[in-house]
Amino acid sequence: MIAENFSLKQYNTFGIDAMAQYFSTFNSIERLEELLEFKKPVTSYAVDTPFILGGGSNILLTKNIEGLVLKNEIKGIEKISEDSDAVYVKAGAGENWHQLVMYCIHNNLAGIENLSLIPGNVGASPMQNIGAYGVELKDVFHELEAFHLTEKKAVQFGLSDCEFGYRESVFKRKLKNQFVITSVTYRLNKTPHFNTSYGAIEQELHAMGIQTLSIQAVSQAVINIRRSKLPDPAVIGNAGSFFKNPEINQQHFDLLKKAFPNVVGYALKNGNVKLAAGWLIEQCGWKGYRRGDAGCHEKQALVLVNYGEAKGNEILRLSDEIIASVHKKFEVELEREVNVIE
Ligand code: FAD
Ligand code: EPU
């Protein structure tokens, strides 16, 4: 079934009311192949590159989408093999990410507990190499299967093929819009290597009264911190951090530090410094700013929000203004993390 003029409001966590000209879901590669044959009625125009949708938690829709939107609902989670240290778990792209984290925790499989409660689906996890609390997807990634939209064939990608970086992968860059990721296989550890040094995890574990570390406890600590810091999309529309944290060289950081002694930066292994974009944005006076229904969250300046009926373009314009003011004050370029669909 292919729906026509279908509202995507319930299908993006910003809650933007944009339409898909055509919309359908697929739960198998066979069904995807059938949908790729779809021809727009009357004209002979074939929609050869549909827009692939997961949980819609990292997109900003700025207009109606012409052509076909296909929501990936390929399901299934299975242990496919194991060695002395690790278990390999393969998940369908349409599985909810947090459900996969919970599956691993219940099965005592370690490695993704710090990535608890990130919204969205398995299929998008490699897209921007999701990360939080000192762990990135690439740390547990084994391989993925993807289907080429025009050549209509399945291709396997290993770790180096994906060109993972900070909120980056080959799928966001040179292979953009060419593949549908259909499944991802993760390498989970039988024995946990706890990573609790990041942010407030230690503090939260202490507040929880945890004496003995476990992946369950770390997951719960991350969940508690995230709930206290980030707006819930079910209450206020948002797509998490709207911008990436920018990287600058040490010389630039020294100059900033002189002018702004409180600037927040973290030293990187490559000698550069990663700045907290939330701090830069807050210093420019945007935190809590609201124009119509578009705004900058009052507790977390890195998160842009839709209070109800904002248009994607209103949020995009606000993000342009934020980029310009951060540039003017700090000579730092902010880059959007969210995928803007124009
Ligand atoms: P979508 O938004 O549906 O899609 C994102 C992009 O990937 C689109 O370009 C889409 O076309 C493409 N895509 C989706 N699925 C596929 C597929 N199967 N094959 C090919 N292309 C595909 N991200 C983090 O990294 N760390 C965080 O801590 C974090 N916290 C967040 C907190 C909140 C409250 C919110 C709302 C978002 C947060 N995010 C975070 C961003 C988001 O959750 C992730 O980027 C997530 O992986 C997006 O998944 P999705 O299924 O919703 O992708
Ligand atoms: N800060 C401010 N004002 C603000 C917000 C932040 O000054 O309004 C400063 C504070 O000093 C704070 C620091 O920025 O200590 C860092 O803030 P926080 O710990 O909230 O993390 P973040 O840099 O805002 C990043 C990721 C998140 C991820 C968390 C935890 C990016 C772009 N964002 O946020 O990822 O969950 O760290 O690891 O890297 C996402 O990608 O969507 C996302 C939510």
221 found inside a domain: no
Closest-CA residue, ligand 2 atom 33, reads 241
Q: 68 and 81, same structural domain? A: no
Q: 282 and 255, same structural domain? A: yes
Q: Measure 124 CA to ligand 1 centroid, in angstroms.
A: 5
Q: What is the CATH number of the domain that holds 114?
A: 3.30.465.10
Q: 179 and 91, same structural domain? A: yes
Q: In this predicted model, which residue has the larger pLDDT, 37 or 308? A: 308
Q: Measure 302 CA to ligand 2 centroid, in angstroms.
A: 7
214 found inside a domain: no
Q: How do residues 107-144 score in pLDDT, each as one tens digit? A: 999 999 999 999 999 999 999 999 999 999 999 999 99
Mean pLDDT of 280-300: 98
Q: 245 and 273, same structural domain? A: yes
Q: What is the CATH number of the domain that holds 26?
A: 3.30.43.10
| pLDDT confidence of residue 31 | 96
288 found inside a domain: yes
328 found inside a domain: yes
Statement: residue 44 has pLDDT above 80: no
Q: Which atom of ligand 1 is nearest to the CA of 181?
A: 19
Instruction: Give the model's confidence band at 280: pLDDT under 50 very low, under 70 low, under 90 confident, else very high.
Output: very high
Q: 86 and 67, same structural domain? A: no
| pLDDT confidence of residue 39 | 72
320 found inside a domain: yes
Question: Which of 113, 118, 149 for mutating ligand 1's site (highest number of atoms within 8 Å of CB)?
Answer: 118
Number of domains in the chain: 3
Is the shortest distance between the CB of 263 and ligand 1 below 6 Å? no
Statement: residue 313 has pLDDT above 60: yes
Look at residues 189, 223, 246 and tell me which one is the last residue of a structural domain: 189
Q: Which atom of ligand 2 is nearest to the CA of 199?
A: 19
Q: 334 and 257, same structural domain? A: yes
Q: Measure 190 CA to ligand 1 centroid, in angstroms.
A: 27
Ligand 2 pocket (Cβ < 6 Å) reads: 132-133, 199, 229, 240-241, 244-245, 264, 276, 278-279, 282, 287, 300-302, 337
Look at residues 150, 174, 189 and tell me which one is the last residue of a structural domain: 189
Question: Which of 16, 26, 58 for mutating ligand 1's site (highest number of atoms within 8 Å of CB)?
Answer: 58
Q: How do residues 168-224 score in pLDDT, each as one tens digit? A: 999 999 999 999 999 999 999 999 999 999 989 999 999 999 999 999 999 999 999
Predicted TM-score (pTM) of this structure: 0.97
| pLDDT confidence of residue 37 | 87
Catalytic residues: 167, 241, 337
Q: Which residue has the tokens 């609201």?
A: 290
Q: Measure 52 CA to ligand 2 centroid, in angstroms.
A: 27
Closest-CA residue, ligand 1 atom 37, reads 240
Q: Which atom of ligand 2 is nearest to the CA of 287?
A: 8
Which ligand is nearest the CA of 296, by number?
Answer: 2
Q: 335 and 291, same structural domain? A: yes
Closest-CA residue, ligand 2 atom 34, reads 241
229 found inside a domain: no
Q: Measure 337 CA to ligand 2 centroid, in angstroms.
A: 12
Is the shortest distance between the CB of 55 and ligand 1 below 6 Å? yes
Instruction: Give the model's confidence band at 47: pLDDT under 50 very low, under 70 low, under 90 confident, else very high.
Output: low
Q: Measure 33 CA to ligand 2 centroid, in angstroms.
A: 40
244 found inside a domain: yes
User: What's the CA gap between 173 and 148, in Å, rounded?
Assistant: 15
Q: 185 and 128, same structural domain? A: yes
Q: 164 and 117, same structural domain? A: yes
Closest-CA residue, ligand 2 atom 37, reads 132
Q: 250 and 177, same structural domain? A: no
Category of 187 on φ-ψ map: left (φ > 0), alpha (ψ -120 to 50) or beta: beta
Look at residues 72, 102, 128 and tell me which one is the last residue of a structural domain: 72
Q: 256 and 309, same structural domain? A: yes
Q: 108 and 24, same structural domain? A: no
43 found inside a domain: yes
Q: What is the CATH number of the domain that holds 298?
A: 3.90.78.10
Q: Measure 22 CA to ligand 2 centroid, in angstroms.
A: 36
Closest-CA residue, ligand 2 atom 40, reads 241
90 lies in which domain range?
A: 77-189
Q: How do residues 155-165 score in pLDDT, each as one tens digit? A: 999 999 999 99
